[in-house]
A = this chain, B = another copy of it.
Amino acid sequence: MGARDVNEIGVGMLGYAFMGKAHSNGFRKLEYMTWPPPLRPRLVAIAGRNEAAVSEAATRYGFERWTTDWHDLVSDPAIGLLDNLGPNALHAEPTIAAAEAGKHVVCEKPLGRNADESYEIWRRVAATGVKHLCAFNYRFVPAVRLARELIDAGELGEIRHFRGRYLQDWGDSDADVWRFDRGAAGSGALGDLAAHVVDLARYLVGDIDEVGGFVQTFIPNREVDDAVESTVVFANGAVGTLEATRLALGRRNAFQWEINGTNGSLAFDMERLNELQVFRSGDERTRGFTTVLVSEASHPFWEHWWPPGHIVGWGDTFVHELHHFLAAIADDTDVAPHGATFEDGYRAAEVCDAILRSSESGRREKITYKGL
A→B interface (CB under 8 Å): 1-4, 18, 21-22, 24-25, 28-29, 32-33, 35-36, 52, 55-56, 59-62, 146, 150, 160-161, 163, 165, 167-170, 172, 212-214, 216, 218, 227, 229-232, 237, 239-241, 243, 245, 247-254, 258, 260-265, 270-274, 278-281, 284-293, 295-299, 305-316, 362-364
Asked if A1 and B252 sit within 8 Å, CB to CB, the answer is: no
A-B contact pairs, 27 of them (CB 8 A): A21-B306, A32-B60, A35-B60, A160-B227, A160-B247, A161-B245, A163-B165, A168-B309, A212-B212, A214-B239, A248-B258, A249-B260, A250-B260, A250-B264, A250-B265, A250-B289, A251-B265, A253-B307, A253-B308, A270-B309, A271-B311, A278-B288, A285-B292, A285-B296, A285-B299, A286-B290, A313-B316
Q: Which residues of B contact A285 (CB under 8 A)?
A: 146, 150, 292, 296, 298-299
Q: Which residues of B contact A169 (CB under 8 A)?
A: 260
- Expressed in whole angstroms, the Cα–Cα distance for A315 and B273 within the complex equals 15
Give, as a whole number of angstroms, the nearest-CB distance from A248 to chain B. 4
Given contacts A32-B24, A243-B163, A250-B279, contact A1 B289 (CB under 8 A): no
- Expressed in whole angstroms, the Cα–Cα distance for A300 and B235 within the complex equals 43
Q: Is the interface of A mostly helix, strand, loop or mixed?
A: mixed
Asked if A214 and B229 sit within 8 Å, CB to CB, the answer is: no
Q: Which residues of B contact A305 (CB under 8 A)?
A: 315
Q: Which residues of B contact A170 (CB under 8 A)?
A: 307-308
- Expressed in whole angstroms, the Cα–Cα distance for A284 and B293 within the complex equals 10
Asked if B261 and A306 sit within 8 Å, CB to CB, the answer is: no
- Expressed in whole angstroms, the Cα–Cα distance for A29 and B62 within the complex equals 12
Asked if B281 and A249 sit within 8 Å, CB to CB, the answer is: yes
Q: Which residues of B contact A28 (CB under 8 A)?
A: 28-29, 32
- Expressed in whole angstroms, the Cα–Cα distance for A214 and B233 within the complex equals 10
- Expressed in whole angstroms, the Cα–Cα distance for A214 and B358 within the complex equals 14
Asked if A241 and B241 sit within 8 Å, CB to CB, the answer is: yes
Asked if B289 and A291 sit within 8 Å, CB to CB, the answer is: yes
- Expressed in whole angstroms, the Cα–Cα distance for A48 and B205 within the complex equals 46
Smallest CB gap from A278: residue in B = B286
Q: Which residues of B contact A296 (CB under 8 A)?
A: 284-285
Smallest CB gap from A308: residue in B = B252
Asked if A29 and B35 sit within 8 Å, CB to CB, the answer is: no
Sorted nearest first, the 3 A-B pairs with minimum C-beta distance are A253-B309, A252-B309, A250-B279
- Expressed in whole angstroms, the Cα–Cα distance for A243 and B112 within the complex equals 31
Give, as a whole number of angstroms, the nearest-CB distance from A244 to chain B. 11
Give, as a whole number of angstroms, the nearest-CB distance from A168 to chain B. 7
Asked if A292 and B298 sit within 8 Å, CB to CB, the answer is: no
- Expressed in whole angstroms, the Cα–Cα distance for A232 and B212 within the complex equals 11
Q: Which residues of B contact A272 (CB under 8 A)?
A: 272
Q: Which residues of B contact A251 (CB under 8 A)?
A: 260, 265, 309
Q: Which residues of B contact A229 (CB under 8 A)?
A: 231-232, 239-241
Give, as a whole number of angstroms, the nearest-CB distance from A66 to chain B. 9
Q: Which residues of B contact A364 (CB under 8 A)?
A: 212, 214, 362-363
Asked if B362 and A250 sit within 8 Å, CB to CB, the answer is: no
Asked if A280 and B286 sit within 8 Å, CB to CB, the answer is: yes
